Homo-oligomer: A and B are copies of this chain.
């Protein structure tokens, strides 16, 4: 989503999908998905992808994850409590951080409703300094790069 490389907006551009559900309270007063809901769904999609593979441990680990930057582009669209599909690809798996690119697709629709991204680092729980991403997670991330 940088100025010179727009995020892929078609389903084909994403390496992995998680199926999520929207809620009544996600609607704003105009009947659209409230803008902060997208970021919460992005975060959830990545956690649902990583935790079952043992690539993220949010409860027991000596490491505390932090989303250091997040952004989202919004379009105007109606919403009801429904099933949505969060597409994920990985832009920058660095040594201590990773940038996830995501978009939400309604159940039948082709174009993306809301592309966005967030950058994640692991902090040591005691020193609060960034730590290298664990090998197991790095392997998952490498498989999600657009041009591996």
Contact status B30-A28, CB under 8 Å: no
Kindly state whether residue A66 has any CB partner on chain B within 8 Å.
yes
Contact status B43-A35, CB under 8 Å: yes
Kindly state whether residue A80 has any CB partner on chain B within 8 Å.
yes
Tell me the bound Cα distance from A108 to B70 in angstroms: 26
- Which A14-50 residues sit within 8 Å CB-CB of chain B? 19-25, 27-32, 34-37, 39-41, 43-44, 47-48
Nearest Cβ on chain B to A5's Cβ, whole angstroms = 15
Contact status B29-A35, CB under 8 Å: no
Residues of B within 8 Å of A71, CB to CB, are: 69-72
Residue among B29, B40, B123 making CB contact with A23, cutoff 8 Å: B40
- State how many copies of this chain the complex holds: 4
Residues of B within 8 Å of A23, CB to CB, are: 20, 40-41, 43-44
Tell me the bound Cα distance from A35 to B51 in angstroms: 19
Contact status A21-B24, CB under 8 Å: no
Nearest Cβ on chain B to A32's Cβ, whole angstroms = 8
Tell me the bound Cα distance from A20 to B23 in angstroms: 9
Kindly state whether residue A64 has any CB partner on chain B within 8 Å.
yes
Residues of B within 8 Å of A70, CB to CB, are: 35, 71-72, 74
Contact status B25-A82, CB under 8 Å: no
Residues of B within 8 Å of A81, CB to CB, are: 44, 47-48, 51
